[in-house]
Chain A
Amino acid sequence: MNFLQKIKLSFRYGVGYFIVAAIPTFGALWALISNGPDGEGQFICSVLKLISIPIVWYLYKTFDNKNTIYFFLNLGISRTEYYVIPIVIEYIFFRILFRLVVYVYPLINAWLYGGG
């Protein structure tokens, strides 16, 4: 099983993580929008997101079906990959949204209010 296949499979078993992680992700992005996409807003957003990762991971690990991991271990996914791949994918998704807000927010602001 190659790495791309492992990523594809993580969308199946990691769905619980993605759903739980979506709440702090959008919360952190809301903080970025509320505080403005400058240095302070970016700092608050990043801190909120980083604090939420271990909490979400703990919740996911606690409520995840304990036996399902063996279905994926049997396919050649290691225990570390099983837990780390969804976290990395979700974080990349968050960074994409983060960059989008940082770049798009001033443009929308300028378009709405005709200012910078």
Chain B
Amino acid sequence: MEEDERGKLLIDSLQLDFGKTTVLQCAYMTAYKGKVTGVLGRNGTGKSCLFKCIMGGIRPQNKFIRLNDEERTDYGHIGLRVKYLPQEHFIPRGMRVGRAFELYGVDYNKMIAFAPAYEDYKNMKFKELSGGEQRIAEVFLVLNADAEFCILDEPFSNIAPCYDEKIRNLILEQKATKGIIITDHIYEEIIKVADDLYLLRDGYTHQVHSREDLVRLEYIRG
């Protein structure tokens, strides 16, 4: 299938300033359905800001976002079509685990099949789970929710190594039906799952085709 025939999420001309500090300038990115798009970058290069701008949590000075080449898209309610996993815990601490799954329309039995320990957690509040357990539930919830695109901000952080492979497999399984945008500092994990790669540096996005590009752009040492 040609890339342009697939569903796509296009971000272009993204300009974000905080006072005199420019975080993103002319940032662009195209993510396709059926593909995993990785975003790499050092700390503070604006990866999370880029995602928050897409979701509408931060209002940038300028942005151009287009879903599936539609002339008119309701960007105010983009969450109906694009699900976002922030870097930190985002589910209300007082909410019961089962209720969060209910609201997102995800079958809790799937969660039990993914991680059997969660059988006892359904009626517990998120604040009663450990940080890692919360994170696994959040990653699973966002990946399994009905959406055209998923944005995952550091899904591998705070998670036990035994879950890394499970999450990687889940991402690869979910990319059959949706487009996935992912970032993490464990860049080897990103390289393993990503079909397309971008690097954020000095506010600009650079498309990365090989490991040499990452060395040239000073993200990793040669």
Contact = CB atoms under 8 A, between A and B. Distances in A.
A binds B: yes
Contact of B56 (A1, A73, A75): A73
Contacts of A81: 76
A13 B100 CA distance: 13
Given A12-B95, A79-B56, A71 B76 contact: no
A73 B53 CA distance: 12
Interface in B59-81: 76-80
Interface string B29-72: 00000000000000000000000000111000000000000000
B92 interface: yes
Q: How many A residues are at the interface, by size bracket?
A: 10 to 19
A1 B95 CA distance: 19
Interface in A61-97: 65, 67-81
B92 A74 contact: no
A74 B95 contact: no
Chain A's interface: helix, strand, loop or mixed, by majority?
A: helix
Interface residues of B, number: 24
B48 to A, nearest CB: 10
Contact of A77 (B79, B83, B89): B79
Nearest to B78: A73
B56 A71 contact: no
Interface of B: 55-57, 76-80, 83-84, 86-93, 95, 100, 103-104, 142, 145
Interface of A: 1, 12-13, 65, 67-81
11 contacts: A12-B92, A67-B86, A67-B87, A67-B88, A68-B90, A70-B84, A70-B90, A73-B55, A73-B56, A74-B104, A77-B79
